[in-house]
Amino acid sequence: MKPTSFMQLYVFMLAAFVGFQIITRVPPLLHTPLMSATNAISAISLVGSLVAAGSDRGMVSTVLGFVAVTAAMTNVVGGFVITDRMLKMFKHEPTPAKNVKAGAEATPAGSAKDAKASGAP
């Protein structure tokens, strides 16, 4: 194993460990905004896969680039759909206004308005 490969493996393992530690300590209140930001950042992988697909370095590169574009696009769109669904869970439906009579509209029982409604003279 080359020293460069060992160093890359070390950085990958360290990044995986630190990422796991950070994500597990995110409070639920911050999970949705963090997930949305992560989806936006993962769109960078879409740009990279577009570059790989369009580099015209051979058939294998183009096919793998197409697979990468498909996977990255699925990741981005699916992430935003899930984020939208989670945000809808936190929205409250508007409560209908109660029909409360107050002030001049309120009439005491047995008033002239009640007499007219009952048909009394």
What do you get for the CA distance between the two ends of the chain, in Å? 107
Angle, helices 28-54/59-90, rounded to nearest 10 degrees: 160
Q: What is the CA radius of gyration of the chain?
A: 31
The pLDDT tens digits of the residues spanning 35-74 come to: 767 777 777 888 888 888 888 888 988 898 899 899 888 8
Cα–Cα distances in angstroms (integers) from residue 44 to residues 35, 36, 38, 68, 76, in the given order: 15, 14, 10, 12, 10
The pLDDT tens digits of the residues spanning 65-85 come to: 899 899 888 888 888 888 788
Averaged pLDDT for residues 20-34: 78
Tokens 């930001």 locate to 37
Report yes or no on whether pTM surpasses 0.95: no
Chain centroid, CA 60 distance in Å: 35
53 with 65: CB under 8 angstroms? yes
Proportion of the chain above pLDDT 90, given as a percent: 9
103 with 66: CB under 8 angstroms? no
**Residue 113 clears pLDDT 70, i.e. is over it:** no
